[in-house]
């Protein structure tokens, strides 16, 4: 039994008035599969398109769902791309155009916006086949149709939704740079600062791509220069110690302190000086593909 269907059809697309052969990649009913991978930071739905590649829908903590298609072989997509919702072969319902775009520069994979990814998931849930019609310049001149099969989708969707429900309510963009503030001449980590730092520690424990945490202490310019430098040092070290006490390894941290030498705001106003009495915590990730 073949894993998928590869069909040759006569299609009046994309060149008006010129009939072209259409190659169709789609999983057969008896081999269609969907799988879910999950963590507290990402939930992913994966579907194999036999003989072609894979399709993914993923949602990161604090973000909306997105998707993409990844070919097995090197590809270059150019020209017009039509994304449709097709009925089941026995359904007799009409095709629905979901999205149309033109790729002038050429790309090596398709990525779906949040809105389009959500639409495609809804069509799959309805038992329909979201499809992409396009030409691959490296594979030849024949148009291609890639279809995502809804067979065995419902159970995977339920598992995916359970995963989404337990994602952290914030993501990397929300905690990448966090600032906590201090009263005049104070160095203790107070309640509001603890709430911010608790989010940082919770995120870092879940994300193995965070390879360093830069903790930088600052001060305003009231008082002696050396006193302000010492304030910035103690503030930064106390923030680092708080995060360490929440379970983050010492080896992740790099602590710097500047005193009044690198103000982030003006020292001419009360508000500006209050903004300068702070510690900034920056998370540094190793280079890693979102996929």
Name which residue leads in pLDDT, 74 or 7.
74
Residue 139 has pLDDT above 90, yes or no: no
Domain that holds residue 265: 172-285
Q: Does the pLDDT at position 234 exceed 80?
A: yes
Q: What is the pLDDT of residue 20?
A: 55
From the CB of residue 268, how many other CB atoms can be counted at a distance below 10 Å?
9
**Are both 218 and 124 inside the same structural domain?**
no
Can you tell me the distance from the alpha carbon of 220 to that of 239, in angstroms, rounded to the nearest whole number?
A: 18
Task: Look at residue 191 and tell me if it is in a domain.
Answer: yes
More confident call, 135 vs 124: 124
Whether residue 13 is predicted with pLDDT greater than 90 in this model: the reply is no
**Do 213 and 105 sit in the same domain of this protein?**
no
Question: What's the predicted TM-score (pTM) here?
Answer: 0.81
Q: Output 229-232 pairs: Cβ under 8 A, ≥24 positions apart.
A: 229/257, 229/258, 229/259, 229/260, 230/259, 231/182, 231/185, 231/187, 231/259, 231/277, 232/257, 232/258, 232/259, 232/260
Q: Is the pLDDT of residue 138 over 90?
A: no
Cα separation, 256 vs 237, in Å, equals: 9
Task: Report how far Cα 198 is from the mean position of its chain's Cα atoms.
Answer: 22
Would you say residue 198 lies in a domain? Answer: yes
Instruction: Using alpha carbons only, give the angle 83, 58, 65 rounded to the nearest 5 degrees.
Output: 70
Confidence of residue 289 (pLDDT cuts 50, 70, 90): very low
Q: Residue 21 — very low, low, confident or very high, per pLDDT cuts 50/70/90?
A: low
291 in a domain, yes or no? no
Q: Mean of the pLDDT values across residues 21-45?
A: 93
Are 191 and 83 part of one and the same domain? no
Angle at 117 between CA 134 and CA 49, to 5 degrees: 55
| 139: DSSP letter | T
Assess contact for 124 and 156: CB atoms under 8 A. Answer: no
Q: Residues 198, 219: one domain?
A: yes
Quick check: 78 pLDDT over 70?
A: no
Q: Domain check: are 186 and 142 in the same one?
A: no
Label residues 82-104 b or e (16+ Cβ within 10 Å = b). bbbbbbeeeeeeeeeebbeeebe
- Whichever domain contains 120, its CATH number is 2.60.40.2540
Question: Residue 148: is it exposed, middle or buried by C-beta count within 10 angstroms (0-12/13-18/19+)?
Answer: buried
Cβ 2 vs Cβ 28: under 8 Å = yes
| Domain count for the chain | 2
pLDDT in tens, 42-72: 999 999 999 999 999 999 999 999 999 998 8
pLDDT at 79: 72
- The angle subtended at Cα 111 by Cα 105 and Cα 116, nearest 5°, is 120
Higher pLDDT: 164 or 108? It is 164
Q: Is 290 part of a structural domain of the chain?
A: no
* Chain-centre distance for alpha carbon 42: 8
Please tell me the predicted confidence (pLDDT) of residue 3: 47
* Residues in Cβ contact with 85 at an 8 Å cutoff, skipping those fewer than 6 apart: 95, 96, 98, 119, 120, 123, 128, 129, 130, 131
Torsion of CA 134, 136, 156, 95, to 10 degrees: 20
* Kind and range of the H or E run holding 226: helix 225-245
């Amino acid at each position: 039994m073949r894993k998928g269907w590869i069909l040759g059809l006569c299609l009046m697309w994309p060149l008006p008035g010129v009939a072209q052969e259409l190659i169709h990649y789609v999983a057969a009913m008896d081999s269609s599969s969907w799988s879910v991978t999950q963590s507290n930071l990402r939930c992913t739905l994966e579907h194999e398109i036999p003989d072609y590649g894979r399709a993914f829908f993923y949602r990161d903590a604090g973000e909306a769902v997105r998707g993409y298609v990844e070919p097995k072989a090197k590809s270059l997509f150019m020209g017009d791309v039509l994304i449709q919702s097709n009925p089941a072969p026995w359904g007799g319902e009409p095709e629905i155009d979901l999205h149309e775009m033109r790729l002038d520069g050429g790309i090596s994979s398709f990525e779906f916006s949040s809105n389009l990814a959500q639409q495609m998931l809804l069509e799959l849930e309805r038992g329909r086949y979201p499809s992409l019609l396009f030409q691959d310049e490296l594979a030849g001149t024949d148009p291609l149709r890639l279809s995502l099969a809804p067979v065995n989708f419902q159970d995977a969707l339920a598992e995916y939704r359970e995963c989404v429900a337990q994602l952290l309510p914030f993501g990397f963009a929300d905690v990448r740079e966090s600032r906590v503030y201090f009263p005049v001449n104070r160095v203790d980590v107070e309640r509001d600062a603890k709430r911010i730092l608790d989010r940082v520690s919770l995120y870092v424990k879940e994300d193995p791509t965070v390879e360093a945490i830069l903790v930088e202490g600052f001060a305003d310019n009231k008082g002696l220069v050396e006193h302000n430098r010492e304030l910035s040092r103690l503030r930064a070290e106390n923030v680092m110690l708080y995060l360490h006490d929440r379970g983050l390894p010492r080896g992740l941290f790099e602590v710097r302190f500047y005193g009044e030498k690198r103000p982030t705001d003006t020292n001419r106003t009360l508000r500006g000086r209050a903004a300068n009495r702070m510690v900034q915590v920056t998370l540094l990730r190793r280079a890693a593909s979102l996929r």
